[in-house]
């Protein structure tokens, strides 16, 4: 099998290519945030000497094979779910959260960050237009389908920040305190109608249900309890279910995704489906008929660990109501992170921190196959497309 490898040839070269994206009316953006502050050494997340600035890579997913069309600098972090990137439905703005930063007192360590970078995707070339602050440890981000409201889970503060979006302006509009600073809110997902948001909490193994009315966001105080360390989460484009990935303890145990039924009087977990070791990213296809889940599969532990593997796994399930049926799986690079679909459901991207690359996969409804690779500058750790 021939696998094509495409590289980001440096910032200047990448930005020159951006008009190609602007000229394609049907282009679909995928955005990868890339952490330069983290490398894996014998299973331990380690800060390298004199790391470069973190980067953001812009990818056109509507061409075959997908291609890199831009790159710019913005802080981010591998700590937290690979959902620290969010794109407005019209692909005009992107938000990137930075969970950790270098410790000013000791550059060999990291400490919680509190920054969200706002990127104008319609300018030529795309550019950072603002940096806004949250509570410590911003992680997963969700933007509603109207493109007017963003929620950010603050993992080190037990809170969810609220931001309004108007044109290119993102404005702080308060926060929701979940009542426990150690609850570890990891990620957040809006329902398609924008009236509900679900927040995973890996500190106390719960999922919070938020009520949304315009720009007002409140905690209903109702929580769901399913697996150990709920992490990445997304609501189906159909609005009937949500899928949440659990991390477990990264000790070799097979862990599951949970299916949340959103059609009843209140959300509730109705099903668990085994996937593999230590789940990271997940994403629904645009039609909601499939969901892809990335399991690190023991690839981020020391090679001496009894359940070490030299690859991650991308597993695709078909979705019918609350039923998930495994369709296919493929091996991808070590220390896997996020996964994303093309709009036509025929291509996927899967990140590998260890490879500094995103695998390109093809899917025909039955078979999943790695067909190429996109090399990026830094370790790719956050990946999203716009939810419409």
Mean pLDDT of each 10-residue bin along the chain, 388 residues long? 47 40 65 98 96 98 95 98 98 98 97 98 97 98 98 98 98 98 98 97 98 98 96 98 96 96 97 97 98 97 97 98 98 98 97 98 98 98 96
Entry field: residues in the chain? 388
Beta bridge pairs of residue 40: 45
What per-residue confidence (pLDDT) applies to 27?
A: 79
Helix, strand, coil shares, percent, the chain, to 5 = 5, 55, 40
Query: Does an H or E element contain 22, and which?
Result: helix 18-23
d(Cα 199, Cα 202) in Å, to the nearest integer?
A: 10
What per-residue confidence (pLDDT) applies to 61?
A: 96
The angle subtended at Cα 61 by Cα 57 and Cα 63, nearest 5°, is 125
Residue where the block lists tokens 């789940």: 279
What per-residue confidence (pLDDT) applies to 6?
A: 52
d(Cα 83, Cα 97) in Å, to the nearest integer?
A: 9
Roughly how many angstroms between the first and final C-alpha of the chain, as a whole number? Answer: 35
d(Cα 380, Cα 76) in Å, to the nearest integer?
A: 10
The string of DSSP codes covering 7-30 is E---HHHHHHTHHHHHH-TT--EE
Joined together, the tokens standing for residue 127 give 């550019």
Beta bridge pairs of residue 245: 257
Determine how β-strand 39-41 pairs with β-strand 268-277: unpaired
Q: Residue 204, Cβ neighbours under 10 Å: how many?
A: 16
Instruction: Determine if the pTM surpasses 0.75.
Output: yes
Phi, psi of 21 (to 5 degrees): -70, -45
């Amino acid at each position: 099998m021939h696998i094509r490898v495409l590289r980001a040839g440096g910032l200047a070269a990448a930005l020159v290519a951006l008009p190609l994206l602007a000229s394609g009316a049907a282009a679909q953006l995928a955005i990868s945030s890339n952490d330069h502050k983290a490398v894996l050494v014998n299973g331990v997340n380690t800060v390298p000497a004199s790391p470069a600035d973190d980067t953001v890579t812009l990818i056109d997913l509507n061409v075959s094979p997908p291609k890199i069309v831009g790159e710019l600098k913005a802080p981010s972090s591998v700590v937290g779910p690979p959902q620290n990137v969010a794109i407005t439905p019209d692909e005009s703005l992107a938000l990137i959260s930075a969970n950790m930063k270098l410790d000013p007192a000791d550059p060999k360590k990291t400490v919680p960050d509190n920054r969200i970078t706002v990127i104008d995707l319609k300018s030529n070339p795309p550019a950072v237009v603002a940096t806004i602050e949250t509570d410590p440890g911003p992680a997963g981000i969700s933007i509603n389908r109207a493109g007017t409201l963003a929620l950010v889970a603050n993992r080190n503060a037990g809170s969810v920040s609220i931001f309004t979006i108007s044109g290119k302006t993102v404005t702080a509009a308060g926060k929701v305190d979940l009542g426990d600073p150690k609850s570890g809110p990891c990620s957040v997902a809006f329902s398609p109608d924008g009236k509900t948001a679900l927040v995973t909490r890996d500190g106390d193994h719960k999922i919070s249900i938020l009520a949304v009315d315009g720009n007002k966001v409140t905690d209903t105080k109702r929580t769901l309890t399913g697996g150990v360390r709920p992490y990445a989460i997304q609501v189906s484009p159909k609005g009937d279910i949500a899928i949440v990935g659990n991390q477990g303890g990264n000790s070799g145990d097979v862990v599951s995704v949970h299916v949340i039924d959103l059609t009843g009087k209140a959300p509730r977990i109705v099903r668990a489906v085994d996937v593999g070791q230590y789940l990271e990213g997940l994403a629904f296809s645009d039609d909601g008929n499939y969901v892809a889940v990335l399991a690190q599969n023991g690839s981020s532990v020391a090679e001496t660990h009894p359940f070490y593997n030299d690859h991650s796994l991308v597993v695709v399930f078909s979705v019918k109501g609350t039923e998930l049926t495994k369709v296919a799986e493929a091996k991808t690079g070590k220390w896997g992170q996020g996964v994303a679909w093309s709009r036509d459901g025929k291509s996927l991207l899967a990140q590998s921190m260890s490879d500094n690359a995103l695998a390109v996969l093809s899917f025909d409804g039955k078979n999943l196959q790695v067909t190429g690779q996109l090399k990026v500058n830094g370790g790719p750790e956050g990946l999203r497309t716009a939810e419409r």
